[in-house]
Structure 1
């Protein structure tokens, strides 16, 4: 396990202190980071309720000699009939562990898909987002926004000269991001656009979200959350005195956020009207996701993953005793998070159960994103790497 050096709980508290004292203007946000080439992944092992392996897929067992019940070919061990073709599901990249499970460019070893390095030497990839065709990320130190086809081609720079790009979001037509150092909020039309300023003069813009009509962002320097229409217009302050709103999420009618220093999970109608506390007395709430009428979030200080209905109610703890979980993602079956102290990416079923470690031994994992087929993440390995792994 390698030490993590990201903006963890201690760093967050230092940032909050600096904001209160007014010294945030000169405070450096990025630590002095060492980098290394990725090591080989560990052998599979299971300890208690936590499972660690080098990949995911089917059972990982070799197929035995069989004849397809639908009149397919007869296959001798260790191959299996997959749609009329004899394949070894222990090594076949298109049928890894089970027929039809594609490793999306990764190797298949012992029936499990390996991760794929999409890009390296990406500086400080603080945030990552995906759409059906591409993966996008920010290079904070290089002042760039980049794009790459999921498992092919080379990264393309789509914006440069950005002053400290930090968080990024997308809605299928646009990507938007915050320039934390430059105090600007930006947008770019994915069809044929170039970078445009949505708002300037912002005081340390941090988290950002987007729906089909509006962009929402938080400002650490003023402890506010603002909104502006994608089509342009004036910037409206939605909420004030939010105590470092570290992450935002939106659904059809509500805006949600984590108040890190306020120790609360909150929501407010998109049209305004005052906020409501969903959960209070939290220990370091730092990132959240809204999905299927549930809010999922991570507490970096207490090392927990929790969920609560969007309508309110009792919070349910999904995972505990973690190092410092700082980013979260959710799909139809699992909750995923990165842990900067443990240097790992893990997942657990939505209702709890066994934690599965997808990747570990990382130097400062930074961000995570999902689509229907794969998991994407960034870390400071290989001087800033973007990784992908088939689900």
Structure 2
């Protein structure tokens, strides 16, 4: 379809004079909850089904890679190795991408109700609802990531956790704080104390990005790695109850989802890091977005029982 304006192309956008529409990548999944991208594949957790699924980006049928997990949720990949939270199984498990399909993975850490996960390749950084932990990726003793007594046990539902250059960054859904702590453990430094609740957090070489959920608006913020100069670069409407905005970055842009009450579904947007351009809607009218990921050509997301993607501008 020919177009001259993004508004002509909902639920997609106008790119190069033609509408670019979201593409159904995989459907009929069993409560998918987290996804990662490799050079050639998309992998995700089926939380209720207990499987780690994989599918070629070139197009194929999704197949179970790891089976028999207990509430697999957050999934991360580093150097060809997968790690995931078994939230109902109170553990962290792992598998190599080169392992045969249909295995059961390997449990490496026992943790009570893990919900968020990150790694630097040597250490796992684990969030439960109230505490942050660290453990070797090879298994072994679990230790506290946060050593300050005022913080210990007072993390108010971690919304996101990630690692960058010796620091672990995290955001609190209920507590409303974006903060960082040394990967070796220590006292957190607050980057931004709210306002309101927070969604996920993203970090790359250019700085930190996060989403705040306020009484009547939802905002995207950016700052340097120390939290200086925090600036709101986008303001949207009020999000639906219990919605957790998602955010990821690449070298050029910030991508985020918001399930606002006034837009009739979730919208996924792209805002370039340089310049004063308006955040562009890449997909609109989506079912509540559970997770997002980006590569060099597409933005991927989980909505309901499906995995979708849209080509980047």
Normalised by the length of structure 2, the TM-score is: 0.86
1:338 equivalent among 235, 251, 257: 257
- Determine if contact 2:176/2:197 at 8 Å carries over to the other structure: yes
* Aligned pairs (5 A) from 1:163-202: 163-192=70-99, 194=103, 195-200=105-110, 202=111
Q: Deviations over 1:190-238 (max 9, x none)?
A: 12264111222x2321111122211111011xx1111111122211121
Q: Which has a greater percent of strand?
A: 2
Q: Following the alignment from structure 2 to structure 1, what is the Cα–Cα distance between the partners of residues 68 and 238?
A: 35
Q: Following the alignment from structure 1 to structure 2, what is the Cα–Cα distance between the partners of residues 310 and 45?
A: 34
| Partner in structure 1 of residue 309 of structure 2 | 388
Q: Which runs of 5+ in 2 are unaligned?
A: 147-151
Q: Following the alignment from structure 1 to structure 2, what is the Cα–Cα distance between the partners of residues 326 and 198?
A: 30
1:348 equivalent among 246, 260, 271: 271
- Determine if contact 2:11/2:21 at 8 Å carries over to the other structure: no
Q: Which has a greater percent of helix?
A: 1
* Aligned pairs (5 A) from 1:187-226: 187-192=94-99, 194=103, 195-200=105-110, 202-220=111-129, 223-226=130-133
Q: Secondary structure at the match of 2:138?
A: coil
Q: Deviations over 1:358-391 (max 9, x none)?
A: 11122222111011111111101xxx11112221
- Determine if contact 2:222/2:230 at 8 Å carries over to the other structure: yes
Q: Following the alignment from structure 1 to structure 2, what is the Cα–Cα distance between the partners of residues 56 and 225?
A: 43
1:283 equivalent among 173, 182, 196: 196
Q: Secondary structure at the match of 1:123?
A: coil
Q: CA deviation at 1:317?
A: 0.3
- Determine if contact 2:168/2:183 at 8 Å carries over to the other structure: yes
Residue 230 of structure 2 is aligned to residue 319 of structure 1: no
Q: Following the alignment from structure 2 to structure 1, what is the Cα–Cα distance between the partners of residues 171 and 127?
A: 11
Residue 287 of structure 2 is aligned to residue 368 of structure 1: no
| Partner in structure 2 of residue 81 of structure 1 | none
Residue 45 of structure 2 is aligned to residue 135 of structure 1: no
Could you say if the C-alpha distance between residues 281 and 119 of structure 1 is closer, same or farther in structure 2, counting changes exceeding 3 Å?
closer
Q: Deviations over 1:84-137 (max 9, x none)?
A: xxxxxxxxxxxxxxxxxxxxxxxxxx2x43332211001211111101111111
Q: Following the alignment from structure 2 to structure 1, what is the Cα–Cα distance between the partners of residues 282 and 302?
A: 13
- Determine if contact 2:5/2:14 at 8 Å carries over to the other structure: no
Q: Following the alignment from structure 2 to structure 1, what is the Cα–Cα distance between the partners of residues 167 and 137?
A: 18
1:292 equivalent among 185, 193, 205: 205
Q: Following the alignment from structure 2 to structure 1, what is the Cα–Cα distance between the partners of residues 237 and 94?
A: 35
- Determine if contact 1:186/1:199 at 8 Å carries over to the other structure: yes
Size of the alignment, in residue pairs?
A: 290
| Partner in structure 2 of residue 231 of structure 1 | 138
Q: Secondary structure at the match of 1:127?
A: strand
Q: Deviations over 1:305-328 (max 9, x none)?
A: 101110231211011123436111
Q: CA deviation at 1:161?
A: 1.9
Alignment root-mean-square deviation, CA: 2.2
Q: Following the alignment from structure 2 to structure 1, what is the Cα–Cα distance between the partners of residues 246 and 189?
A: 23
Q: Following the alignment from structure 1 to structure 2, what is the Cα–Cα distance between the partners of residues 340 and 282?
A: 19
